[in-house]
Amino acid sequence: MRARAVVRRGVRLGVIIGAWPAAIAGVLCLLVAFVFLVGDLYATARVLTAVAGLAVLGSMAVGLTLGAATGLALAVAPRRLLARPPLRGLLAALTAGLPVAVLYVVLLTGCGYTLESYPLSTHLVGWAGILTVALVAAARSGEIAGYGTDR
């Protein structure tokens, strides 16, 4: 029962991780679609509406997967590791941040592009997002594992 509760709390973290980018990407795509709709570019508006839906669904799916993986990693970790906040936070940060970093690099290096093909601003925003996901997971690791709560 304890492992199930830890994974459930991890999934709640995943909802938080996935909701912010989903909302931002969805709203931006819908605003741009509205601009194209006003400009009588209906096909482009439809495509952007579909992109908004895919962005929301994809972000939520990645967030839920990361949350479940973080909860599962904290559920199977030894108690002596979970009792130390720095190690517990590092485990949660690596579990949540590493897959996002790999996904980021894979998406940017597809179709013959390299990481040098993109401007510095792209990397700053991308790595800041990855760092944010890792830090949120690390900060919430005690709550997910059941340490530092009233339970």
Arithmetic mean of pLDDT over the chain: 90
Express each pLDDT in 6-36 by its tens digit: 999 999 989 988 998 899 988 998 899 889 8
**Domain limits, the chain:** 2-145
Beta carbons within 10 angstroms of residue 145's beta carbon: 27
149 pLDDT higher than 90: no
What gap in Å lies between CA 135 and CA 39, rounded to an integer? Answer: 42
Q: What is the pLDDT at residue 110? A: 84
- The string of DSSP codes covering 90-109 is HHHHHHHHHHHHHHHHHHHT
Express each pLDDT in 53-95 by its tens digit: 998 999 999 999 999 999 999 999 999 999 999 999 999 999 9
Q: Which residue has 């800041």 as its token pair?
A: 128
Q: What is the pLDDT at residue 148? A: 65
Two tokens, residue 107: 């998406």
Q: Give the percent of the chain with pLDDT over 70.
A: 97
Q: Give yes or no for a contact between 114 and 106, defined as CB atoms under 8 angstroms apart.
A: no
40 φ, ψ (degrees, to nearest 5): 60, 30
Q: What is the pLDDT at residue 151? A: 44
Task: Spell out where the chain has E strands.
Answer: none
Express each pLDDT in 94-145 by its tens digit: 999 999 999 999 989 988 889 898 999 999 999 999 999 999 999 999 999 9
Two tokens, residue 83: 């009792």
Q: How far is CA 85 from CA 91, 118, 139, in A?
A: 10, 37, 9
